[in-house]
């Protein structure tokens, strides 16, 4: 699990959505914004439209945070990354599929070093 210091706070979401660059994949939207912090911070958002049960939304969020944690050393510092999950079928997919798509999206955005 990703530490709390590495997560974006809820009050920063509007600023990130307004002033960031956006990247698409089949299941995710990634918003990337340059930050003054030394460490990169991450957040995952899962809408109630995607999964009605809170346990399902939390499962998707935890999968995202653990995928980021596995690759945290490869990610460039000084960015705010906000992932929005677009597709509810991700709960049925394997963790490796989930992780692979996140890594591909980060590499397209130029976040991986």
pTM: 0.90
What contacts 64, CB < 8 A, 6 or more positions away? 42, 44, 83, 85, 98, 102
Nearest to 39 by CA among 83, 84, 73, 71: 73
pLDDT in the model for residue 84: 94
Dig out the tokens for 59 from the structure. Answer: 């499962």
Give average pLDDT by consecutive 10-residue segment, the chain, 113 residues: 89 93 94 91 93 92 94 94 86 88 94 87
pLDDT in the model for residue 32: 96
Under 8 Å between Cβ of 80 and 33: yes
Under 8 Å between Cβ of 23 and 108: yes
Q: Are strands 41-46 and 79-85 parallel, antiparallel or unpaired?
A: parallel
Under 8 Å between Cβ of 41 and 80: yes
pLDDT in the model for residue 2: 86
Nearest to 102 by CA among 37, 18, 17, 44: 44
pLDDT in the model for residue 28: 93
pLDDT in the model for residue 55: 92
Instruction: Give the architecture (CATH level 2) of 4-108.
Output: 2-Layer Sandwich (3.30)
């Amino acid at each position: 699990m990703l530490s709390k210091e590495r997560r974006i706070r809820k009050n920063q979401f509007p600023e990130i959505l307004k002033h960031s660059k956006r990247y698409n994949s089949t299941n995710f939207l990634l918003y990337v914004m340059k930050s003054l912090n030394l460490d990169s911070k991450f957040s995952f958002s899962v809408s109630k439209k995607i999964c009605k049960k809170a346990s399902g939304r939390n499962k998707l969020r935890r999968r995202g945070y653990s995928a980021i944690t596995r690759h945290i050393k490869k990610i460039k510092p000084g960015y705010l990354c906000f992932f929005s999950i677009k597709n509810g079928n991700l709960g049925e997919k394997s963790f490796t599929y989930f992780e692979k798509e996140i890594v591909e999206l980060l590499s397209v955005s130029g976040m991986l070093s």
